[in-house]
A and B are shown apart, each in its own frame.
Chain A
């Protein structure tokens, strides 16, 4: 087998893998990295989350309310993605702006040191 042929065949295999991944749906919901289903408990928890701001019918997220914003940043100071907090897209957009304003004013940290 010539090297060119070999590389062709290799490419073929990788392509095949890719297409099989697409068939599986790539990032399918409720399926773990090894294809296992989420447990019933996990599914229940996932259903439970809802946007905190929608629940209280907030139309504006204030940067001055640092205590409230603190719930939406990690210990390191990162903004927590909405797939974890359950915030809706509209409110997450507002939240991100509020957090950044608060950071500018020194109300929230940009970075917190890792807990020793």
Chain B
């Protein structure tokens, strides 16, 4: 049963009013769903708390998490269902990455650099839980700031 694998990227927003531990628990659950259904997490980066451009579900802040994973297509529906059922996830987006986007996308690590460069030294602890710096097939191009 060699199913066709594809690389997906999901961004989801966790309720920012939770504690860090609770947020971690929510993320763990998502990771569990992915790995349980033959998915392989390539990169998971906590983007951190961000202010929304407009209130979503009467909230002004959210904790953004970006995750890249490789999986067969049927995982997407399952993951979507999980996101919908999980009350502490405010919004989510799952997209498939094609070759071009894999080359040129902003990986989570780049995002983190942006965040750390703008708000220097919020915390000493590294937020990255990336398991695959070497697994990453193509090094993401650095984006020019305009």
Decide: B106 and A65 in contact? CB cutoff 8 A: yes
Decide: A64 and B106 in contact? CB cutoff 8 A: yes
Contacts of A93 in B (CB 8 A): none
Which of B52, B53, B106 has the most chain A CB within a 10 Å cutoff? Answer: B53
Decide: A109 and B103 in contact? CB cutoff 8 A: no
Decide: A106 and B93 in contact? CB cutoff 8 A: no
A96 at the interface (CB under 8 A from B): no
Residue from A56, A64, A68, A106 in contact with B66 in the complex, judged by beta carbons closer than 8 Å: A64
The distance in angstroms between the C-alpha atoms of A104 and B143, with both chains bound, is 22
Decide: A64 and B111 in contact? CB cutoff 8 A: yes
Decide: A110 and B146 in contact? CB cutoff 8 A: no
Which of A56, A105, A109 has the most chain B CB within a 10 Å cutoff? Answer: A105
Contacts of A104 in B (CB 8 A): 91, 93
Q: Identify whether the interface residues of B are mostly helix, strand, loop, or mixed.
A: strand
Chain A contacts with B in 43-76, Cβ cutoff 8 A: 52, 56, 58-60, 62-65, 67-68, 71
Chain A contacts with B in 67-116, Cβ cutoff 8 A: 67-68, 71, 101, 103-111
B78-106: CB near A (< 8 Å → 1, else 0) gives 00000000000001010100001101111
Given A64-B66, A64-B111, also A106-B91 (CB < 8 A): yes
Please tell me the number of chain B residues within 8 Å of chain A, measured between CB atoms: 24
Decide: B13 and A105 in contact? CB cutoff 8 A: yes
The distance in angstroms between the C-alpha atoms of A111 and B54, with both chains bound, is 9
Report B71 CB to chain A, min CB distance, Å: 20
Between-chain CB contacts (< 8 Å), 7 pairs: A52-B146, A60-B103, A62-B106, A105-B11, A105-B91, A106-B62, A109-B53
B-binding residues in A (CB < 8 A): 52, 56, 58-60, 62-65, 67-68, 71, 101, 103-111
B144 at the interface (CB under 8 A from A): yes
Contacts of A59 in B (CB 8 A): 100-101, 103-104
B128 at the interface (CB under 8 A from A): no
Report A86 CB to chain B, min CB distance, Å: 14
Contacts of B91 in A (CB 8 A): 104-106
The distance in angstroms between the C-alpha atoms of A63 and B54, with both chains bound, is 17
Residue in chain B with minimal CB distance to A64: B106
B25 at the interface (CB under 8 A from A): no
